[in-house]
Amino acid sequence: MTLKVIIAGPRGKMGSEAVKMVNEDSDFELVACIDRKHKEKNFENPDVQALNIPVFEHAEECFQNIKADLLVDLTIPEVGYEHTKSALQHYIRPVVGTTGFTDEQLNELVSISREMKLGGIIAPNFAIGAVLMMKFSQMTAKYLPDVDIIEKHHDNKLDAPSGTAVKTAEMIQKTREAKKQGHPEEKETIDGARGADHDGMHIHSVRLPGLVAHQEVIFGGPGQTLTIKHDSYNRKSFMDGIRFSLKKAMEMDELVYGLENVL
């Protein structure tokens, strides 16, 4: 069975790659796109134009007029939340790469998915290697509880720290004995020098041109350090995870947060 897919955010770098991936996979059919800034005269995605795919400015209009199985949302948190909620209400399974949802929003979306008995996946990172990096870090923290997270992204990223860094810290928290790191009397001479504090561990965000998505988790112990690192050099690194999630969502009856929960 060919799965009918809608993509929200086809203009962006991630969205453009997703359009190519869906179009090239015989298991999928791209049936529509959602672009809230869309104007017919300046919409720029040659793949969408060549396929003559309809582009809607508003998700509700799209979902009412297009029959689809799945939504891929690669937009921003405020828009992505509304898209995901509306998709579930229209019996469309969401696969969401947008980060920055609040706990309240996530809980509401999961509750709606249970009520509708629809599967879906919200993932801070769709790169398989990044998910493994998070899992390995979770395992390590049980034995080396002193840890800093350094995440590096392109300078157009809106949220800091990244969803991947926050998710990594949350996973580490499950196995790490809570502790305050560093000298008990340390003082920042410049605010923020030690990064964000999450349960005593520190998260540092770097934003520079030339970067895509990179993270290293550094563990320290007596006489040793261990660094677990992952690099995405281009957006193609996320496509295998999106492809897997689209197929997996069709087997599920509840929305989950984190690709590690379904691998």
Q: Determine which one of 153, 167, 214, 248 is catalytic.
A: 153
Per residue in 59-116, pLDDT (tens digit) is 999 999 999 999 999 998 889 999 999 999 999 999 999 877 889 999 999 999 999 9
Per residue in 56-72, pLDDT (tens digit) is 999 999 999 999 999 99
DSSP-assigned states of every residue in 179-241: ---S-TT---SSTTTT-EEETTEEEEEEE-TT--EEEEEEEEETTEEEEEEEEE-SGGGGHHH
Q: Are strands 213-221 and 146-153 parallel, antiparallel or unpaired?
A: antiparallel
- Considering the domain 3-118 in this protein, what is its CATH number? 3.40.50.720
Segment (H or E) for 73: strand 70-73
Per residue in 11-59, pLDDT (tens digit) is 888 999 999 999 999 999 999 999 987 655 445 566 665 667 898 999 9
Residues annotated in a binding site for NAD(+): 9-14, 44, 97-99, 123-126
Residues annotated in a binding site for (S)-2,3,4,5-tetrahydrodipicolinate: 154, 163-164
Average pLDDT over all residues of the chain: 92
Residues annotated in a binding site: 9-14, 44, 97-99, 123-126, 154, 163-164
Record the pTM.
0.84
Say yes or no: do domains 3-118 and 128-233 share a fold.
Answer: no
Q: Does the annotation mark 153 as catalytic? A: yes
What is the token pair recorded at 10? 């086809």
- Which pLDDT belongs to residue 81? 94
Per residue in 199-251, pLDDT (tens digit) is 999 999 999 999 999 999 999 999 999 999 999 999 999 999 999 999 999 99
Closest CA to 4 of 26, 33, 34, 30: 30
Task: Using the structure block, give the residue that is written with the tokens 């007596």.
Answer: 222
| Domain 128-233 top-level CATH class | alpha beta
Closest CA to 253 of 75, 81, 91: 91
- Which pLDDT belongs to residue 41? 41
Q: How confident is residue 155, by pLDDT bands cut at 50, 70 and 90?
A: very high
Closest CA to 136 of 28, 71, 232, 215: 215
Checking if the pLDDT of 263 tops 90, the result is no
What is the token pair recorded at 148? 């800093």
Q: Does the annotation mark 157 as catalytic? A: yes
- Which pLDDT belongs to residue 77? 82
Q: Determine which one of 58, 157, 198, 247 is catalytic.
A: 157
CA distance 259 to 253: 15
Domain spans of the chain?
3-118, 128-233
